[in-house]
Amino acid sequence: MTNPDSAPAPTLPSSSPIAVVTGASSGIGAATARRLAAEGFHVVAAARRVDRLEKLASEIGATPFPLDVTDDTSVAALAEAVPECAVLVNNAGGALGLDPVAEADLGHWQRMFDVNVLGSVRVTKALLPAMLRYGRGHVVNITSIAGHLVYEGGAGYAAAKHAQHAVTETLRLELNGQPVRITEIAPGMVKTEEFSLIRFDGDAERAEATYRGVAAPLVAEDIADCVAFAVTRPAHVDVDLMVIKPIAQAAPHKVHRTV
Ligand code: NDP
């Protein structure tokens, strides 16, 4: 269904393969959009904050696209605008809170599931036909080390990322025999502008404490580098899973700090 209030669908160039990046308005998504554009993709940069997308798009020659991954109509409009798709990076997501299970804020849990899990499923489902029309495709899901390990206070986020991991693995089984590659990228601590700020509801001090004393957390470009590596392998090579942490981080809860 088309959103009657939405702007007319943009015309995408037919000369470059199309890469859709969700959550491209900041952090890992923005860095990935920049990197994939540099690799020769025409990027559809999608997120809710269109002003940020427009700025990025004018820098890298991308198409900005307003998208809420939790909204069926919004995702349907994206699918309508992207008739053929080579790469989909399901990056939109994040964490909310750091509460023990006994004090779980179920509203936070619901939102984490809606964006990280159902959001990536919704967009994947909508764009798979566009990949098959293109002749081949590649779904890259940005999960987290929290999709593989747990830590105290992180149950809601870890449960959502474990679910996203399970969906990614299932998709690879179900699409076996089809020309669609499935890659999971599971980052550890990445210092991005907004991730921790959103997690702690705008509390800058608490957000900054996440990275306190960590000599060199990952940066968004480190993850964009991994996405670029996976999608630029020869078409028969499927990179299943990349787990990337800063050297100071041995596990989600085991971080070497100098202060
Ligand atoms: P940011 O908070 O910087 O970016 C999150 C992006 O998701 C924003 O562009 C935001 O855009 C978008 N987004 C959020 N909700 C929606 C929605 N409903 N529809 C569409 N877009 C949405 O986080 P990061 O760049 O750090 O994280 C990106 C991904 O990497 C996430 O999935 C996160 O869980 C994962 N990750 C991050 C780690 C880290 O340490 N930073 C570690 C491991 C994984 P807008 O608000 O404009 O819609």
CB of residue 47 inside a 6 A radius of ligand 1: yes
- Take residue 215 and report the two structure tokens written for it: 């000599």
* pLDDT of 8 above 90: no
What letter would DSSP give residue 150? -
Q: How far is the CA of 9 from the centre of ligand 1 (A)?
A: 24
Q: Point out the ligand 1 atom lying closest to the alpha carbon of residue 52.
A: 47
pTM: 0.97
Q: How far is the CA of 28 from the centre of ligand 1 (A)?
A: 7
Read off the pLDDT of residues 209-230 as tens digits, 9 standing for 90 and up: 999 999 999 999 999 999 999 9
Give the mean pLDDT of 159-178. 98
Residues of the chain with pLDDT > 90, as a percent, come to: 94
Q: Point out the ligand 1 atom lying closest to the alpha carbon of residue 94.
A: 34
CB of residue 228 inside a 6 A radius of ligand 1: no
Residue 22 main-chain phi, psi, to 5 deg? -90, 150
Cα 227 from Cα 210, distance rounded (Å): 25
Residue of the CA atom closest to atom 45 of ligand 1? 48
Q: Point out the ligand 1 atom lying closest to the alpha carbon of residue 69.
A: 19
Give the mean pLDDT of 167-194. 98
Give the mean pLDDT of 61-90. 98
Read off the pLDDT of residues 94-116 as tens digits, 9 standing for 90 and up: 999 999 999 999 999 999 999 99
Residue of the CA atom closest to atom 2 of ligand 1? 195
* Pairing state between β 254-255 and 249-251: antiparallel
Confidence (pLDDT) at 1: 38
Give the mean pLDDT of 42-67. 98
Q: Is the separation of the CB atoms in 24 and 1 below 8 Å?
A: no
> What domains can be seen in the chain, in order of their start residue?
4-255 (3.40.50.720)
Confidence (pLDDT) at 6: 53
> How wide is the angle at C-alpha 119 spanned by C-alphas 81 and 67, nearest 5°?
40
* pLDDT of 35 above 80: yes
